[in-house]
Structure 1
Amino acid sequence: MTYVRPKFRHPALPKNKLGYTMAYYEGALSTLCAGCGHDSISAAIVQSAYEMSIEPHKLAKLSGIGCSSKTPTYFLSNSHGFNSVHGRMPSVATGANLANRDLIYFGVSGDGDTASIGMGQFVHVIRRNLNMVYIVMNNGCYGLTKGQDSATADKGSKNKSGNVNLFETIDLASLAIELGASYVAQSFSGDKTQLVPLIKAAMAHPGFAFINVISPCVTFNNNVGSTKSYDHVREHVEAIGTIDFVPVKEEITTEYEEGSMKNVEMHDGSALRLRKLEQNWDPQDRLSAMNAVKTAAARQEILTGLLYIDTNTKDLHNIINTTDVPLNKLGKDILCPGSAALRSVNEGLR
């Protein structure tokens, strides 16, 4: 068996503005379990990058340890990549971002990688508002170590072994809003129509963009009693409405159905368009967004879509006022200005 994709593609495949077909954004064949929701998320990432005409060499994908953290192998093989230590992906992303602000940073994590061993890293990368996309492939269990409950497993849910979870869940979307993340969304791996525009908008957002994706584990957490199974999610998902990402300066060709509509303008002039909103809340009001998530949880529903966005945010580079030139491109004359400059600094500290 091979894990290498065949190189042949039909010569008439459509191409994006850069002249690339979708195949150019793919990776190796997946070694995950057949039917794993993570593969659907990988496919959504491929489609998002293709439709946005992103040059793969201008994107860096990072991950930790876990089933989810294997997925960067399965998309954008022509981009940069770094598989880090369990729970430590945010630190690597922070260092890389500070060294080269010109890349798009795409972090992939799991519920164990983020909500347990990596919780401290997750908290601080949010408060620093690092300019990156952070996707959690959330299945409520540890798939690599035989399905133990993770910190995101709902209280009262039952795993494949029949054990009932006795502990309260960590709601990552609510936590991200609470900590000040400037873009927070939630989706389901089986809803590509919703997930793709959310990923595209996250890549266009100038700050920390968090997407919590419920991604059922078909091997260890797809049983009756699990609140992360395909059947349970389909029965309890509550979408906020239809979402379209409208790239800047592109003709809008989508036909819109009747109903209310809200445009959330991105920093580059593009827009995230929300249609048929059914929830009574404002995605640009943090308290309102938190209330909507908690209200849905009280009804045992999973609220999906764009939950919160701050369109006036400042990322880490703007907060600490770094140079516009990436640090890895600064010359010796700037990095080592000489003894006179050092004396001036020392005098200023006296």
Structure 2
Amino acid sequence: MSYIKPQFKHPKLPKNKIGYTIKEYEGPLSTLCAGCGHDSISAAIVQACFEMSVEPHNVAKISGIGCSSKTPTYFLGNSHGFNSVHGRMPSVATGASMSNKDMVYFGVSGDGDSASIGMGQFVHVIRRNLNMVYIVMNNGCYGLTKGQDSATADQGSKSKAGSINPFQAIDLASLAIELGASFVAQSFSGDKQQLVPLIKAAMHHEGFSFINVISPCVTFNNNVGSTKSYDYVRQHIEATSTLDFVPEMPAITAKYDKGKSTRVALHDGSIIQLNKLATDWDPEDRVSVANALQQARLKNEILTGLLYVNTEWKDLHGTLNTCKTPLNKLKEKDLCPGEKILEGINRDFR
């Protein structure tokens, strides 16, 4: 169930480069709990798409099952959307991308949808380097079924019911880096200043862009003792960098000193400007990133920001060498080579 927002908009609302106001990127009113971090992430997606002047009809939002997977209803109401089976969003996203690679794909998932029932799908969509933005709204619990610990709940974290989680957490950011994701970031739903440029950069990255967002559940996991509560996350965040995203710039490469800044050039010439705060971390070195995440984990810290990026690896279309024209735009004459060509192909198999 959702509620439609009033159609009225102020006549002097700012417009982006294609003449849209931010209202064109919003959706119906959210029915999630008041104060839910997921709504803040939705707002960051809306802001990023508005500022990047993305055509709403050129965006596809795909999700699974869970509180997080309800959110595509609440942003980009003029875009395509598909709510899939629990944990199976990557398969649907892969099929859609193979059919039409010209669209911007947002995969929205949760810690249950990706780290439990959907873990197998999560693993394989990473290794294929599908060109999409994959956002996990991570609250460490199952909000739809009354707050049980999820696979990302930290060991020693206390639930609202008072039980202590005895199991090691699955660290999705570390796992994504280990499996070869070409863009890995981590953020906090309450840090819009960091999250918006991360989403912009992820949209422009040609390959699998993973953003793990700690998003506290205000109903079931915001209590004292929870390591996913607002207070705990704010006290234990350690940012790797402050960052800006600069689109449509010539490719720039630059050497930098530790503790200073660097520019990372994406495939289309867009630039991520990083002002480094962590001195033992290099966003283009997987080993240094993995070490930094493990060190932070030992100190009960949450590293946020752009953790890793690789612009050298091909995305799935590049690996499979698909044609430049999206498959859904090919005509029968393009798809059917003719009797003589088929005879030649069959002759090679005899």
Q: 2:171 maps to which residue?
A: 171
Q: 1:253 maps to which residue?
A: none
> Taking structure 1 as the reference length, what is the TM-score of the superposition?
0.96
| Contact map agreement 1:22 1:47 (CA 8 A) in 2 | yes
Please tell me whether residue 299 in structure 1 is matched to residue 275 in structure 2.
no
Greater shift in the superposed pair: 196-205 or 312-321: 312-321
Q: Residues 156 and 127 of structure 1: is their aligned pair in 2 closer, same or farther, counting only changes over 3 Å?
A: same
Q: 1:308 maps to which residue?
A: 308
Please tell me whether residue 190 in structure 1 is matched to residue 190 in structure 2.
yes
Describe the superposition over 1:148-195 as per-residue Cα deviations: whole angstroms up to 9, x where unpaired: 000000011110001111111100000000000000000000000000
Q: 1:38 maps to which residue?
A: 38
| Contact map agreement 1:279 1:292 (CA 8 A) in 2 | no
> Taking structure 2 as the reference length, what is the TM-score of the superposition?
0.96
| Contact map agreement 2:36 2:217 (CA 8 A) in 1 | yes
Provide structure 2 residue ranges, at least 5 long, that are not aligned to the other structure: 251-258
SS in 1 for 2:168: coil
Q: 1:80 deviation in Å?
A: 0.6
Give distance in 2, aligned partners of 1:277 and 1:106.
29
Give distance in 2, aligned partners of 1:2 and 1:334.
43
Give distance in 1, aligned partners of 2:96 and 2:249.
30
| Contact map agreement 2:129 2:182 (CA 8 A) in 1 | yes
Q: 1:4 maps to which residue?
A: 4
Give distance in 1, aligned partners of 2:177 and 2:108.
19
Q: CA RMSD in A?
A: 1.2
1:139 counterpart letter in structure 2: N
Q: Residues 295 and 342 of structure 1: is their aligned pair in 2 closer, same or farther, counting only changes over 3 Å?
A: same
Please tell me whether residue 332 in structure 1 is matched to residue 296 in structure 2.
no
Q: 1:341 deviation in Å?
A: 1.8
Q: 1:313 deviation in Å?
A: 2.0
What percent of counterpart residues are identical? 72
2:312 counterpart letter in structure 1: N
Paired residues in the alignment total: 342
| Contact map agreement 1:241 1:277 (CA 8 A) in 2 | yes
Please tell me whether residue 135 in structure 1 is matched to residue 135 in structure 2.
yes
Q: 1:152 maps to which residue?
A: 152
SS in 2 for 1:7: coil
Give distance in 2, aligned partners of 1:305 and 1:2.
32
Describe the superposition over 1:108-135 as per-residue Cα deviations: whole angstroms up to 9, x where unpaired: 0000000000000000000000000000
Q: 1:225 maps to which residue?
A: 225
SS in 2 for 1:232: helix
Please tell me whether residue 216 in structure 1 is matched to residue 178 in structure 2.
no
Give distance in 2, aligned partners of 1:276 and 1:269.
21
Q: Residues 116 and 2 of structure 1: is their aligned pair in 2 closer, same or farther, counting only changes over 3 Å?
A: closer
Provide structure 1 residue ranges, at least 5 long, that are not aligned to the other structure: 251-258
1:157 counterpart letter in structure 2: S
